[in-house]
Structure 1
Amino acid sequence: MGIELKKLSLADCLLLEQYGKLRPVYIAERQPVNQFIWEEFYETLFYNNDTYFMCVVTSKECTAPMMPLCRLEDIPSVFAEIKYHWNEVLNKPLNMFLLDETFLEVLKKTPGFTEEFRIEDSRDNYDYIYDAAKLKTLSGKAYHKKKNHLNSFLKNYEGRYEYKTLSCSDVAEIEAFHDRWLDNRNYEDRHNSIRSEENGIHRLFQNCSFIDCEIGGVYVDGKLEAYTIGSYVPETKCAYIHVEKANITIPGLYNFINQQFLIHSFPDALLVNREDDLGQEGLRKAKLSYQPIRLEAKYHIYQNR
């Protein structure tokens, strides 16, 4: 039958969980929430069989598959199948996006791969991985400024704030805050993705009860002033933070919700993936300031044809 692509639905996004367990994968794109938010922006299609799950996305450059999710030992045969389809069935060169280090290293051992494919280091797409314990405690010299910001918030708003674990019944209130938050933001949007992200977040809210995710919020003077959405992979003990929005006129609020969300929703997490910065200078500076223990590298490959 070959590779027949279909439009990615919510139900298909949820399949990512089972395929993501075939080997340890730490990139944010292996999470259903991430794929669902960005499905419209990338016009995502997908294919799956008993061996692998593959998303196919459209960018300015071309339409190409993302790294398929499969077992480590199946990477060579899965890649060969996809390459055959692109070259012989579609008569196109195979480009592939967002490969992690493990997948790429297996391909490099394939005879002729490095001559046939150009490898591009995609720094703008690197995910930031943190020590969960450090983000929960903000202990140590490296987090001194963060701890000061947190303590300042706790002092200045003593008796006025409350952290709550939210649910789908709170969606209307979250959306109302999100729209207020948008009205007070200036954006650096190198990839023209901000509006698509907002559309994806609203679609996520509309399907809240069907998606396995955690939501946290902070109320100040009885009004929602920050919220965040995350998910968790118990096999790798890694929490993924997909959305985090806070009132920027309240100093220390971002520090507070960042910490409290991990404490309340992901007590067993050892690692935290706070996703990429998409090359936005301010966002990169903010993510680096939280002292990641590593950057989860991602690569694109382009076939020389």
Structure 2
Amino acid sequence: MGIEIKKLTLADCLSLESYSNLRPVYISERQPVNQFIWEEFYDTHYYRNDTYMMCVIKAKSMLSPMMPLCKTDDIPAVFSEIKEHWNKVLNQPLNMYLIDESFLTILRALPGFEEEFTVEDCRENYDYVYDAEKLRTLSGKAYHKKKNHLNSFLKNYEGRYEFRTLDCSDVAEIESFHDRWLDNRDYEDKHSSMRSEENGIHRLFKYCGFVDCQIGGVYIDGKMEAYSIGSYAPEIKCAFIHIEKANINIPGLYNYINQQFLIHSFPEAEIVNREDDLGQEGLRKAKLSYQPIRLESKYNIYQRSL
């Protein structure tokens, strides 16, 4: 039986994790929560068997696979099978998206790969990876400004703020805050780049009880003013922060929820993946200011011809 591509469902998303752990994978796309949030945006499909699972997205009007999740030793055979299906069954060149560094290294060693494929370095999709303990403590000279912002918030709102671990019973309140947060964004931002994320968040809340994620919120004077959603991969001791929203009119609030969410929800995490910057200059500057220990690089590959 050949590769049969099906529409991705919540149940399929949840099966992703077992494949993600077949080798150490650190990119955010390995997490079910990430795939579920962006499923509508990418019109995500999938294929899986006993050896690997891959998500398939709509790109340039064609179905194209993302990096398959499999054991390291299986990468050459899995890649060969996918390539044969795209070339001989679909009669299309194989374009593959969001490949991590270790997967690409193995592909580059395959006979004829360099002559057959073009590699694109996708800087705007790089994930930012941090030392978790540094983000919890904000200790050291590099975090001096962040610590000052945090201390200023704690002083200015002393006795008025509270971090709470949230669950599905808090969804209505989170959605209400999210709508208020959107109202503070400019029109173009709200109705273009944020629309798909917004839809994904609401869908995540709709199926809240079925998705393995952590939610935290900050209340000021009893009113929610920030929330964050994350998930954890124990095999690599990595927390993934998928969503973080805070009232931009409250200085230091982002610093506070960033720190408290890690302290309360992911105390065992050694590293933190705070996902990509989508090529947005302001977001890139903000993510770099937290001193990542590395950027988790991603690549696309394009087959030159059949």
Letter of the 2:20 counterpart = G
Which residue of structure 2 lines up, in the alignment, with residue 295 of structure 1? 295
Matches within 5 A, 1:217-228: 217-228=217-228
Map of 1:233 onto structure 2: 233
- Share of identical aligned residues, percent? 77
Q: How many residues align?
A: 305
Give the SS at the match of 1:292. coil
Question: 2:280 matched to which residue of 1?
Answer: 280
Q: How high is the TM-score relative to the length of structure 1?
A: 0.98
Report the Cα distance in structure 1 between the residues aligned to 2:219 and 2:31, rounded to whole angstroms.
28
Offset, 1:192: 4.2
* Residues 57-116 of structure 1, C-alpha deviations (whole Å, 9 max, x = no match): 013464210000000000000000000000011111000000000100001110100110
Residue type matched to 1:91 in 2? N
1:12 matched to 2:26? The reply is: no
1:8 Cα offset (Å) = 0.3
Alignment of 1:8-47 (within 5 A): 8-47=8-47
1:188, 1:280 within 8 Å by CA — same for their partners in 2?
no
What displacement does 1:166 show? 0.2
Instruction: Name the CA distance, whole Å, in 1 between partners of 2:60 and 2:278.
Output: 15
Aligned-residue offset at 1:188: 7.4
- Runs of 5+ unmatched residues, structure 2: none
Contact 1:41 1:193 survives alignment (8 Å): no
SS at match of 1:219: strand
* Residue in structure 1 matched with residue 91 of structure 2 by the alignment: 91
Change (3 A) 1:299 1:138: same
Deviation at 1:187, TM superposition (A): 7.2
What whole-Å deviation, never above 9, does each CA across 1:14-40 have from its counterpart, x for those lacking one? 011100110000000000000000000
In structure 1, distance between residues paired with 2:73 and 2:7? 28
The match for 1:137 is 137
Question: What is the 5 A alignment of 1:189-208?
Answer: 192-208=192-208
The CA distance in 2 between the partners of 1:49 and 1:211, in whole Å, is: 22
Secondary structure, counterpart of 1:40 in structure 2: helix
**SS of structure 1 residue aligned to 2:40:** coil
Equivalent position of 1:164 in the other structure: 164
Shift of 1:263: 0.3
* Pair 1:126 & 2:126 matched: yes
Q: Give the aligned partner of residue 81 of structure 2.
A: 81
Q: What is the CA–CA distance in structure 2 between the aligned matches of 1:167 and 1:26, rounded to whole Å? A: 26
CA distance in 2, matches of 1:253, 1:186: 20
TM-score scaled by length of structure 2: 0.98
Residue 186 of structure 1, CA deviation? 2.8
The residue aligned with 2:262 is 262
Give the AA of the match of 1:7.
Answer: K
Letter in 2 for 1:92: Q
Distance 1:112 1:211, change over 3 A: same
Q: Which residue of 1 aligns with 2:185?
A: 185
* SS of residue matched to 1:41: helix
CA RMSD of aligned residues (A): 1.4
Q: Please give the per-residue CA displacement for 1:208-253, whole angstroms capped at 9, x wherever unaligned.
A: 0000000000000000000000000111000000000000110000
Separation in 2 of the partners of 1:197 and 1:304?
32
| Alpha-carbon distance change, 139 to 15 in structure 1, aligned in 2, over 3 angstroms | same
Residue 213 (structure 1) aligns with: 213
1:194 CA displacement? 1.4
The letter for the 1-side match of 2:123 is R
Which residue does the alignment assign to 2:68? 68
CA distance in 1, matches of 2:31, 2:182: 25
